[in-house]
Amino acid sequence: MAEQGTVVVRAYTSRAQIPVTGATVAVTHPSAGGKHLLVALRVTDESGHTQPVTLPTPPAAESEHPGTAAPYTLCDLWVEHPDFQMLHVENVQIFSGVETLQDAELLPLPEFPEQRDMTRIVHLTSQPL
């Protein structure tokens, strides 16, 4: 039986961490040639959270010995809302049997229209296992 993990996104803005309702979250799996395979689409609720997205993962036992392949599945998140800059979070690590809560801080769009095409990219580093 394949093992699974989940990811939930929490979208917010400002240092006060005000929830962003109605943000669209695309969960993708990186594939060959820099392309992304769409895994799921979710919309944040009034608390800024998405419903969980389940992904297949390598067995948890693979993390018990050093030098083995990465014991997690990688996914990317694309978070967008009309009032905020798009956010791209790369290399979110999903572990077997674990619900990953990924924060997504959204920055309000400036008043200049040409800024609407900006995307902020956050690259997460691998866990030091």
HSE at residue 82, side-chain half, CA atoms within 13 A, is 1
- Coil vs helix vs strand at 116: helix
CA distance 23 to 77: 12
CATH number assigned to the domain covering 3-123: 2.60.40.1120
HSE at residue 22, side-chain half, CA atoms within 13 A, is 4
Residues 116 and 62 sit within 8 Å (Cβ to Cβ) = no
- Coil vs helix vs strand at 61: helix
pLDDT tens track of the chain, all 129 residues? Answer: 579 999 999 999 988 899 999 999 999 998 888 889 999 999 999 999 999 999 999 888 776 777 777 889 999 999 999 999 999 999 999 999 999 999 999 999 876 555 445 666 777 777 665
Instruction: Give tens-digit pLDDT for 33-54.
Output: 888 999 999 999 999 999 999 9
Domain residue ranges of the chain, discontinuous segments joined by +: 3-123
pTM of full prediction above 0.75: yes
